[in-house]
Amino acid sequence: MAEHVAGSTFPHADGRFDTHGDRKLSTPSITIVGSNHECASIDLRERLAFSGETLAEGLRALHRHVDEGLIVSTCNRTEVYVVSDSADAGRDHVLSFLSEYHGIPARALDEMSYVHADIGAIRHIFRVASGLDSIVLGEPQILAQIRDALDAARDAGSTGPFLQRLATDALKVGKRARTDTDIARNNLSISHAAVQLAARERSGLAQSRVTVLGAGKMASIAARVAAAQGVESLTVVNRSEGRAQPLV
């Protein structure tokens, strides 16, 4: 019997993924290797990050190692989802890919990462999509990040029926968690939470001078929320002036 979660058909008792009902098919393994704020330093997370063109290049490189590949990369996590012959093979393929692509020893990656396979991988991405694995419980950005990851994998040709189904159902579960529970009642991202904490510690940010490091999505949200607090000045520190300028 297959296990049913949120209206979807998932692995059989041995944890293998079957998206075609009773048809007799080979059942490859889904493996996720990830590193996040709980197990890796900021330096390592920055080195592991993918964005823009590096994400497209990374997905194409990953696809040379595995049948299907998907990369979810945010400011607090990088997770690589793959389909391969076995969980052990998937783990080894991902560590080899990350080591080659980022120039980080595989042993160091292994020590600062986590691995989930088959039903464990499915439960993990459902937790992530629901905001249960975020620094700020229920934060809303992760759904868009998973959707962007799926779109990027489709564009790069690195995904297929297994990971497309997995990511699509994760998005459904994440949406349902937010509509059927109170997990998203505060609707806060980590940027919102940081600015609110600063305002509470200083009894408001009016007439304060605020500096935001970086010019990515989270920095952009922080700058917008800080400006709404009536700050005296806002400075954005970033390597590229062109990306920082729209934030001030």
φ, ψ of residue 208 to 5 degrees: the values are -95, 155
Residue of 49, 72, 75, 143 marked catalytic:
75
CA dist 28 and 243 (Å) reads 42
Please give the helix or strand (H or E) that residue 233 lies within, else none. strand 233-237
Cα-Cα end-to-end distance for the chain? 56
Handedness of CA 64, 69, 73, 78 (dihedral sign): negative
Under DSSP, the state recorded for 184 is: T
Q: Note if 75 is an active site residue.
A: yes
Closest CA to 175 of 121, 136, 129: 129
Q: Over the Cα atoms of the chain, what is R_g?
A: 20
- For the record, the structure tokens of 37 come out as 């704020």
Please give the helix or strand (H or E) that residue 173 lies within, else none. helix 161-180
- For the record, the structure tokens of 43 come out as 């330096």
Task: Specify burial of residue 148 (Cβ count, 10 A radius: 0-12, 13-18, 19+).
Answer: middle
- For the record, the structure tokens of 161 come out as 């029926």
Cβ contact 87:155 at 8 Å: no
Catalytic residue numbers read 75
